[in-house]
Structure 1
């Protein structure tokens, strides 16, 4: 007797087959798997039937198909089409529930989908946004993008203006200047000093990212950008997040860089800023740089520094293992 594949067996036939397998095993002593192979009965099917026999439910479960819902009426189809044409950018699920909420028609999403598909009214995927709305790619080398911003510092008896220039790729504080005014000439002078420090630079670089401050809208700034051969990039209006890396640096200045004593006099503030900028660039691990220092990305090889870390950790692990093996003698 062999099992025919894809055939549905009644509960009596299943019980008979289970009994045949059991009798064959008792009489011949063969393993169950060999008997099942001779009968072409899959072992998974056999054990499933056996489990269901213990539960007393060998009969197949009959699934009664649900009655198909009545088709939408012509009036409902017309209403759906009209609503879809009035909202061409809305997906069919949103259309469905909005029509229910607005008492237009009361249909299920799949019914609305079929109507829209039949009349070619399905919302098409929107084209990608223009390049101007996309987030710019991350810089991949030093001095490609610089962020510029001013920070107000009150040093008695007046306000001073700290101009920072931050390299976007490495978070290196390229240059800073504590100015008496916030006029355009002080900002252009600070950027010019930073550019003079570069050994070489690519055409159109660095790209200077800044807000819409009056310094960056002046004729002097525009003339400087043209003469220096750099690229001028303005952030979105009233959107400090566009210059967020430098905004975060300014927060770090306040939290870690300056004390009240440092801001008690102009010369003390200069000394504190010089000490702090050296520490920030050369000694302080940066969370955005895998806890390397900005100088490691700005003028060093970060991959080599990370590999060196892993080598030290591996050596320490071997030393630690040798220590404990010596302690326990194993």
Structure 2
């Protein structure tokens, strides 16, 4: 244990290093899981979608199950088709974010407009209240 003190590390860290000695450095990496789909399954989903382009991803999933193509969940089919760029049917316009804003016909900020409206209403209300109050005397 003099060595651990000399290194200036905790004993737990030393024993962790000792346990991992000689192994690949995979303590922080992704380890393959049984439920991950394989590349051929991804390709099968995309190919099946290309042959049935009018079907949605949920219906497509159950059609693939019936035809014994691939057994995946609708969420997985959606993620695969989204990553392949197959779900962008309506082709949205490119974003204009960051290009500046052209304000036409706007007078002041929304906050100022709201406060002006409130002042008008409250002034009107006081006037009506004053009339009613004077009428009661």
TM bin (shorter chain): 0.3 to 0.5
Structure scoring higher RCO (CA < 8 A, sep ≥ 6) equals: 2
TM-score (norm 1): 0.17
Which of structures 1 and 2 has the bigger CA Rg?
A: 1
TM-score (norm 2): 0.39
Higher strand share: 1
